[in-house]
């Protein structure tokens, strides 16, 4: 539906991203034709993932464009990390209410800065007018047979997570309540605004982990996907959940586990590991300079049992982020 004459070529993506993301020898044609042309490596599978972020649903309209550019790419790279894939190419479909130069410069900076760290080339894009939202698609490589999937967890495997849980959700909770923004620890803000995709951990877990997922909707919901896909159950120990200092302080007063269990936006990896692999995790954590903690065990009995430190079952009702009512369903 096109109803206005051309006033000027307004190629936002090309203009703002030119030279911002790294050149790659496997990109024959980037932004600027009807399609990008890339050469996938032979002997590897291509992992493809897409995520949309909508203003007011996935981020606050007041978020800085730099942080948003970072996050839009980070949440997608997090999906590649969960597959054990090495990032390669991205596309960006940007819907904006109006072209805002300063905003675009900041957004491109945040996006490209993360892209450079992982050698990701932006190869295509589309800009449209409408309510602010962004759809990023990423492509990565994983050698045949080495991908991490949700479906491989086996009875007796340990359940692990990288990093800490609940910081982003706690930050959001504080932003949404009366807490003055200045009272929110910077470490929590960083975790909400600038999640770190666990790419190196995903690559290191190839041929080690039996299953993996990234925690975007909350630990319980995402671990639930592993259990469902693997047709197993699990037992989780709350006292083993890795918590940041800021979260622990808040927890000491509130006694509320829910941001760490069902808050979402963690972008850590949750994975399962056969017992034979367990000993390697300490070395791996040191090598990656990233916490890796065992939080539970895969069991045959269906369902997820969450145990409090005193051994009683945790009966909290929050199970994760509503996949449609409040946000998104990521299906690849």
Residue 85 binding a copy of itself, by CB under 8 A: yes
Residue 129 binding a copy of itself, by CB under 8 A: yes
- In this chain, which stretch among 105-113, 232-240, 272-280, 321-329 interacts with a copy of itself, using CB under 8 A? 321-329
Nearest to a copy of itself of 83, 292 (CB atom): 83
Task: Indicate which single residue of 65, 106, 124, 163 sits in contact with a copy of itself (rule: CB under 8 A).
Answer: 124
Task: Indicate which single residue of 36, 121, 209, 223 sits in contact with a copy of itself (rule: CB under 8 A).
Answer: 36
Q: What are phi and psi of 91, to 5 degrees?
A: -125, 160
Asked whether the beta carbons of 75 and 137 are under 8 A apart, the reply is no
Residue 46 binding a copy of itself, by CB under 8 A: yes
What is the three-class DSSP state of 232?
coil
What is the distance between the alpha carbons of residues 154 and 152, in angstroms, rounded to a whole number? 6
Shortest distance, position 130 Cβ to a copy of itself, whole Å = 4
Task: Indicate which single residue of 38, 112, 114, 164 sits in contact with a copy of itself (rule: CB under 8 A).
Answer: 38
Residue 21 binding a copy of itself, by CB under 8 A: no
List CB contacts of 308: < 8 A, sequence separation 6 or more.
Answer: 238, 239, 314
- In this chain, which stretch among 34-42, 108-116, 159-167, 275-283 interacts with a copy of itself, using CB under 8 A? 34-42
**Residue whose C-alpha is closest to residue 53's, from 41, 63, 43, 42:** 63
Shortest distance, position 60 Cβ to a copy of itself, whole Å = 6
* Cβ count within 10 A of residue 223: 29
Report 208-267 residues binding a copy of itself (CB under 8 A). 212-214, 217-218, 221, 229, 262-265
Residue 195 binding a copy of itself, by CB under 8 A: no
Residue 47 binding a copy of itself, by CB under 8 A: yes
CA dist 302 → 193, 224, 226, 240 (Å):
35, 10, 12, 21
Task: Indicate which single residue of 2, 62, 177, 182 sits in contact with a copy of itself (rule: CB under 8 A).
Answer: 2
Q: What H or E segment, with its residue span, contains residue 68? A: helix 65-83
Q: What H or E segment, with its residue span, contains residue 261? A: helix 258-262
Structure tokens at 147: 């991908």
Report 54-73 residues binding a copy of itself (CB under 8 A). 54-60
* Cβ count within 10 A of residue 129: 9
Nearest to a copy of itself of 37, 286 (CB atom): 37
Hunting for tokens 């959700």 — which residue is that? 169
Shortest distance, position 89 Cβ to a copy of itself, whole Å = 7
Asked whether the beta carbons of 156 and 275 are under 8 A apart, the reply is yes
Nearest to a copy of itself of 115, 142 (CB atom): 142
Shortest distance, position 53 Cβ to a copy of itself, whole Å = 8
Task: Indicate which single residue of 100, 101, 116, 128 sits in contact with a copy of itself (rule: CB under 8 A).
Answer: 128
Nearest to a copy of itself of 177, 289 (CB atom): 177
DSSP state of 276: G
Task: Indicate which single residue of 30, 69, 163, 197 sits in contact with a copy of itself (rule: CB under 8 A).
Answer: 30
Task: Indicate which single residue of 23, 25, 130, 181 sits in contact with a copy of itself (rule: CB under 8 A).
Answer: 130
Structure tokens at 253: 């007063």
What is the three-class DSSP state of 186?
helix
* Cβ count within 10 A of residue 214: 27
Asked whether the beta carbons of 55 and 96 are under 8 A apart, the reply is no
Report 90-109 residues binding a copy of itself (CB under 8 A). 91, 93, 95, 99
């Amino acid at each position: 539906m096109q109803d206005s004459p051309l006033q000027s070529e307004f190629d936002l993506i090309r203009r703002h991203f030119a030279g911002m993301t790294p050149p790659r020898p496997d990109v024959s044609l980037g932004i600027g034709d009807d399609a990008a042309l890339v050469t996938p490596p032979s002997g590897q599978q291509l992992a493809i993932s897409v995520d949309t972020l909508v203003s007011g649903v996935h981020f606050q309209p007041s978020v800085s464009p730099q942080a948003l550019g970072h996050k839009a790419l980070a949440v997608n790279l997090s999906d590649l990390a969960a597959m054990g894939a090495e990032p390669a190419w991205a596309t960006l479909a940007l819907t904006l209410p109006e072209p805002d130069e300063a905003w675009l410069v900041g957004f491109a900076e945040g996006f490209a800065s993360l892209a450079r760290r992982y050698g990701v080339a932006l190869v295509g894009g589309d800009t449209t007018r409408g309510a602010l939202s962004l759809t990023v698609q990423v492509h990565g490589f994983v050698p045949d047979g080495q991908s991490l999937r949700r479906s491989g967890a086996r009875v007796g495997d340990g359940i692990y997570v990288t990093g800490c849980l609940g910081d982003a959700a706690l930050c959001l909770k504080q932003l949404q309540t009366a807490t003055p923004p200045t009272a929110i620890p910077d470490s929590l803000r960083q975790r909400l605004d600038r999640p770190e995709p666990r790419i190196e951990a995903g690559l290191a877990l190839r041929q080690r982990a039996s299953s993996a997922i990234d925690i975007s909707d909350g630990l319980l919901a995402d671990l639930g996907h592993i259990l469902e896909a693997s047709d197993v159950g699990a037992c989780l120990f709350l006292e083993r959940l890795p918590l940041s200092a800021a979260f622990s302080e808040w927890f000491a007063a509130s006694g509320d586990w829910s941001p760490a269990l069902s808050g979402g936006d963690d972008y850590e990896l949750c994975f399962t590991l056969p017992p034979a692999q367990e000993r390697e995790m300490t070395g791996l954590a040191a090598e990656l300079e990233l916490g890796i903690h065992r939080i539970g065990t895969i069991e045959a009995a269906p369902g997820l049992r969450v145990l409090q430190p005193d051994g009683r079952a945790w009966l909290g009702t929050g199970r994760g982020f509503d996949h449609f009512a409040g946000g998104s369903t990521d299906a690849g």
